[in-house]
Amino acid sequence: MIEVENLHKHFGSKVAVDGVSFTVKKGEVLGFLGPNGAGKSTTMRMVTGYLPATQGRVRIGGADIEENEIEAKSKIGYLPEAAPLYSDMTVEAFLRFAAEMRRVPASEIQAAVDKAIETTFLEPVRHQSVDTLSKGYRHRTCFAQSIIHDPEVLILDEPTDGLDPNQKHEIRQLIRRMGETKAILFSTHILEEVEASCTRAIIIDRGKVVADGTPEELKARATNAGTVLLRATGLAGSGIKAELEKLSESSKVEVVESGDDGITARIAPAKGKADKLSAAVYGVCKEKNLTVHELKVEEGRLDLLFRELTKKDADK
Amino acid sequence: MDAFITLIVSFAIPTAIVAAIFVALLFYVLPREVRTIFKRELKSYFTSPIAYVLFVVFLGISNALSFFFTGVLEGGEADLFLPYFQYLPWYLILIAPAVGMRLWSEEQRLGTLELMLTMPLAPWHAILGKYLAAAVVLFTMLVLSFPIVWTVNFLGEPDNGVLMAGFVATYFVALCFLAVTSVISAITRSQLVALLVSVAICLILWLGGLPHLSEMLMNLKGGWLVAWPVLKLVNMVGVMPHFTELAKGVLGLRDIVFFVSFIAFCLFATSVAIRLKRA
């Protein structure tokens, strides 16, 4: 549905987006991650046709966003980052305007407006003027605008920004639900959001894609992925540590707590041996007759991967 | 009674014709998107105090000044052209930019430009829809100055045809100034800047057509090498001569073509300004 090929954007001599490519199919929710200023919003603005690309192509459902502008744009629902609204309109009037602009047939406008209001929980402010709304309501009004014509493609720039935890939860579930029948691209810098609602995620840093995969695949790439946490007693801590270090499956043993009668340690796997590490660690415990209180394989953490990928070069 | 009928014939009918042109354009000629934008824009003029304030200012100034300073009351013939219409464009130099300043700068300030330009419509739909809404505001303003016509008819027996021509000419000038404002408001997000710059340009456009300037240019050819082409250009696009011709009651094709192409050029320039803004 969304095909992005080698997209570049230069602002004068500044390169904001530097060769980004990805596709989002129907039924996929693609999370777009990256630090502030990485080029997330610029990319989304090019995908929606607001900014012309310096180089590269964007196709929405087969229609090129520049050559076949109107057809491509009619398939998109878009929530810009700032959630802009006409401040002199009421919520309902604004949604009605959006529905008309989005070519909803006149006879279906009322139903479309009602549905969007219901989906985004705007009923209490329906007749209120936009400039009296709180930030959360403003955001949801703009969100309602993006789904009013039931688009095939949804592009959401930080859809949960400014919402309280309950609303965040609702919107994430909504994105997940809508993702079953649409192609959704949404940006965020909240990592738990990616795990909660994405089928795939891209990490972008200074205009380039630095990671692309399912949340599970990305987590597996984090340095902590496969680390085994062990809490065992029955031998002096230093002794256990020495045994663990001897293992060919381990690369590093990080002691969390060590005493005369036990240890709590984090054992990092050697390269390519992550899946065998826990068994090896258990083997050591059994051999030395230790009492195991805790043995846990840690899942990779997205925030670690995110920091590793986006921080490295910044230090140079 | 006769006077009443002449009044109706010379004012109500042309007014109805202009209104009908607007309706026909919006409902039958132009696409639905233009109408949607137009409706939103027009509503926003009348839900905020802007339109009303401008009406009061315009009607107040134009009526007060023409009665108190130009001596319609003493000038037995009640020939409205000189005292009334000669001054109207001067007020419009301020009023038309005040009506148009929000057209695109407000859109940029609110960030809704991003929303509008990602909707499935061609930029000219939006440009035209907005321009027409502002044009209707200016039209309403001129229609509201109708009492002055009634007054003059009450005082004497003016040539209503010439009066009508005065209104048509004034409206064309207003539309030109509005088109200039449309371009400027697409360039800046500040309404105040849009207003000030537009007023300055409208003033130049108006004064550029001064007969004196044309004469001056004839004599200046030799020196002023740098300034001459600029002055010449300003003189060429000066709206005053076209206004004067039309207002005399000479419905010259040349002048109408000038006004229409001037407006079309400005609306095109607006689309270029918006495109540059995005790149």
For the whole model, what pTM was predicted?
0.84
Eight-state DSSP code of residue B26:
I
Q: Name the pairing type of β-strands A29-33 and A262-269.
A: unpaired
| Cβ contact, residue pair A103, B120, below 8 Å | yes
In a 13 Å sphere around the CA of A79, the CA atoms on its Cβ side amount to: 27
Q: Identify whether the C-beta of residue A160 lies closer than 8 Å to the C-beta of residue A171.
A: yes
In CATH, the architecture of A228-298 is 2-Layer Sandwich (3.30)
Partners of B47 on chain A (C-beta within 8 Å) are 88
Partners of B48 on chain A (C-beta within 8 Å) are 88
Q: Could you state, in order of their start, the residue ranges of all structural domains in chain A?
A: 2-221, 228-298
Q: Smallest Cβ distance to B40: which of A50, A80, A97?
A: A97
CA distance A9 to chain B (A): 9
Q: How many domains in chain B?
A: 1
- Which residues lie below 8 Å from residue B230, measured CB to CB, with a gap of 6+? none
Q: How far, in Å, are A53, A60, A76, A244, B108 from residue A44 at the CA level?
A: 11, 12, 11, 49, 18
Partners of A53 on chain B (C-beta within 8 Å) are none
- Which residues lie below 8 Å from residue B238, measured CB to CB, with a gap of 6+? B205, B206, B207, B208, B209, B210, B213
Q: Which CATH class is domain A2-221?
A: alpha beta
Walk along chain A (316 residues) and give the pLDDT tens digit of each residue: 899 999 999 988 888 898 899 999 999 999 988 888 888 899 999 999 999 999 999 999 889 998 888 999 999 999 998 899 998 999 999 999 999 999 999 999 999 999 999 988 899 999 999 999 988 889 889 999 999 999 999 999 988 877 788 888 888 888 888 888 999 999 987 777 888 788 888 988 888 888 888 877 777 777 777 788 888 887 777 788 887 788 777 778 888 888 888 888 888 887 777 777 888 888 888 888 888 888 888 777 777 777 777 775 554 4
Put simply, the chain A residues between 135 and 194 with a CB less than 8 A from any chain B CB are 142, 145
Q: Supply the angle between the helices B160-187 and B253-278 in degrees, to the nearest 10.
A: 20
Structural domain harbouring B201: 2-278
B233 touches chain A (CB under 8 A): no
